[in-house]
Amino acid sequence: MKYVVITLILGSIAAGVFAQNAPATQPAEVPAADLLNRMLKPAGEAPVPLQPIVLPPPPNSVTGQAAVAPNATTMPIIREGTFITDRTGRLTKSPDGQHEEFTFDADGQAMQDPPMIILPNLKLELMEQAVTSSSRDLKFHVTGMVTEYQNRNYLLMERVVVVPDVVQNF
């Protein structure tokens, strides 16, 4: 312990001796407070604070200006939490090929229901299996809850039934 204290004292004395014998070509030490004040002092104009960038929502390729027709009419989205009950439609791929969509058949009213992206669950898996095992275009009756994300509707299906072919005998 004594050796450590003695070494520290001798080291500080040696540092003081070398600091006094420093060559005159080195700049004089500037106190840290003065250096910080010079760095923080404005150089002329007052700095302007950065403003946040507000990005528009991504374009919806199904409705609006990003649709196939220029300036197509925008279709209102359905409010989140709304239940779709026994609506008929088909399973289709989205235009970008990444998602499965449910494309509604005409409902006899306004016929303005854009396709909804189907949220993955077992019902979607059953629909995909039915389409791949069938040799015809299948229609489905679906019941489910609508969700909303970035100005687009999604469908969480709770019930799916394949619409049977109607055979009429005369």
Domain ranges of the chain: 77-162
Is 64 a residue whose pLDDT tops 60? no
Rg, C-alpha atoms of the chain: 36
Q: What is the mean pLDDT of the chain?
A: 76
Q: What are the tens digits of pLDDT across the range 126-163? A: 999 998 898 888 999 999 999 998 888 999 999 999 98
Whole-model pTM? 0.53
Distance CA 29, CA 88 (A): 82
User: 128 with 100: CB under 8 angstroms?
Assistant: yes
Residues 6 or more apart in contact with residue 108 via CB below 8 angstroms: none
**To the nearest whole percent, how much of the chain has pLDDT over 70?**
62
The domain defined by 77-162 folds into OB fold (Dihydrolipoamide Acetyltransferase, E2P) (2.40.50)
